[in-house]
Amino acid sequence: MADKIDIIIKKHLNVQRDTLLPLLQDIQTELGYLSEEAINRISVSLNLPTSKIYGVATFYDQFRFEPQGRFHIQICHGTACHINNGGRIIQEAERLLKIKEGQTTRDGMFSIEIVNCMGACGLSPVIAINDKYYHGIEPGDLKEIFEKCKDNSTAV
């Protein structure tokens, strides 16, 4: 893992605080999230305090600081989904899984990401779990959907 991080950092050696974004994006693309190790290695390599790196990364919603769950749940909160109960879908998912947006359950099974329009507004509200889309769902549908994910993971 450290080698991969160092290779990416080497491509961005002239980066300063104001131009950190492409480096952070490349690391997240490679690792799936910004690990503490990655932040520390950037800090040492570029001689930037970790607080400044976290300051930049936390300013943008796109960055994660935990690995994604086995089932990564994207919940649309674009305008159409918002109007059609998107907020309640988010609340119910967070309640059922006992995590907030950007977090992963302790067992590594689920993670939640709030996204903007997923391009299916007419079928809102929309969520996606890994590559599977669920349209027109109600908050009360989530429990069963999550249980099916768990059942499928143990059946494999």
For ligand FES, which residue of 121, 134, 141, 150 counts as binding (CB under 6 A)?
121
The count of chain residues that interact with ligand FES, using the rule CB under 6 A, is: 12
The least distance separating ligand FES from the CB of residue 131, rounded to whole angstroms, comes to: 16
Give me the 137-156 binding string for ligand FES, x by CB under 6 A, dash otherwise: --------------------
108-118 as b/e, with b when 16 or more CB fall inside 10 Å?
A: eebbbbbbeeb
Q: What amino acid is encoded at 89 in this protein?
A: I
Find the part of the chain contacting ligand FES (CB under 6 A) among 64-72, 89-97, 103-111, 113-121. Answer: 113-121
How would you classify the pairing of strands 132-135 and 71-76? unpaired
Find the part of the chain contacting ligand FES (CB under 6 A) among 40-48, 50-58, 77-85, 106-114. Answer: 77-85
SS (H, E, C) 133-155: EEECCCHHHHHHHHHHHHHHHHH
10 Å Cβ neighbour count for 52?
15
State yes or no: residue 114 binds ligand FES (CB under 6 A).
Answer: no
For ligand FES, which residue of 124, 128, 146, 149 counts as binding (CB under 6 A)?
124
